[in-house]
Structure 1
């Protein structure tokens, strides 16, 4: 009798944990931003896509090291419904960002967070690089501080593109 009760409690706990893990993911904040050429977008406009929001700075050596990998990831998955949004931090001089983006011809959306409001909305981001992966429904899947493990990131992207 006691074993049956303990088994039922264990099953109930596993069910609650599975529900919380699968259905209680935090939502990405509803924000708008403008890219360097003046085009406006929002997190709501990207629903239906898997999105990586990357906070970076031209003065961040880790950011500069990961940028070619972010580009390759974007080019690999963009045709399948993946988007990258690179958010330059408020302390990054706009002319440095514009020069870098022009010189490297980044193929994804780049915005300047001059007021710091985007970083604040995503949880007071201060460290770069920080990347946040968002699913098609606008749920935050994973937060990376530092360069992501790109093999893991690609697996998550592929899994969520199929979902």
Structure 2
């Protein structure tokens, strides 16, 4: 932060008396406004806008794209093939702590609502080595399909997935009805998906 410096004023006798720091009207705020570089202010605003765009969910995609999903078991499915059923897409990584923490909740959700028509597909991030993903899934006994996204096309198809975990809830017609960045609120997910399940909402 800028500091006030003493100002020397030469007198007729050659001495250099010092004057006390003067403060302009408006106080520190006015001082900072006068001293702030417009370029610095612009850079700060741009940085904040970038951060917000990075963290907040993007609403550019309203309908789930019919992108192919290469699964660990060697099959490739398209989201179009899953139309007619409620679907959860979970972007995750085995090295992501919150992703691992929410895994038991997703497993319970799948086992509870799967018999009523819910589909759940987890999509590993492009930086995840396929062997590491395969080992994690086998050791943890993940019961739902897991897709690899080696070239980043799946994440890109959903307007770019920048933060994980990110979960998308998709209705049977392919509309994205909810998107959450961070650990999924399982109770909320149940409420949102309930109308799309066989036999309707639980009594």
Q: TM-score range by the shorter chain?
A: 0.7 to 0.9
Give the gaps of 5 or more residues in structure 2: 1-60
1:93 aligns with 2:129: yes
Q: Report if aligned partners of 2:107, 2:142 keep a CA contact under 8 Å in 1.
A: yes
How is 1:17-56 mapped onto 2 (pairs within 5 angstroms)?
26-56=62-92
TM-score normalised to structure 1 length: 0.82
Q: C-alpha separation between the residues in 1 aligned to 2:88 and 2:73? A: 20
Q: C-alpha separation between the residues in 1 aligned to 2:168 and 2:146? A: 15
More helix by share: 1
1:76 aligns with 2:112: yes
Tell me which stretches of 4 or more aligned residues in structure 1 moved more than 2 Å.
none
Other-structure match for 1:122 = 158
1:64 aligns with 2:100: yes
Q: C-alpha separation between the residues in 1 aligned to 2:192 and 2:175? A: 13
Higher relative contact order (CA 8 A, sep 6+): 1
Aligned residues: 139
Give the gaps of 5 or more residues in structure 1: 1-24
> SS of the counterpart of 2:121?
strand
Q: C-alpha separation between the residues in 1 aligned to 2:82 and 2:155? A: 18
> SS of the counterpart of 1:151?
helix
Q: C-alpha separation between the residues in 2 aligned to 1:68 and 1:93? A: 22
Q: Report if aligned partners of 2:149, 2:155 keep a CA contact under 8 Å in 1.
A: yes
Q: C-alpha separation between the residues in 1 aligned to 2:90 and 2:175? A: 16
Other-structure match for 1:4 = none
More strand by share: 1
Higher Cα Rg: structure 1 or 2?
Answer: 2
Deviation at residue 87 of structure 1 after TM alignment: 0.2
Task: Give the counterpart of 1:136 among 146, 150, 172.
Answer: 172
Deviation at residue 160 of structure 1 after TM alignment: 2.3
TM-score normalised to structure 2 length: 0.66
Q: CA RMSD in A?
A: 1.3
Other-structure match for 2:26 = none
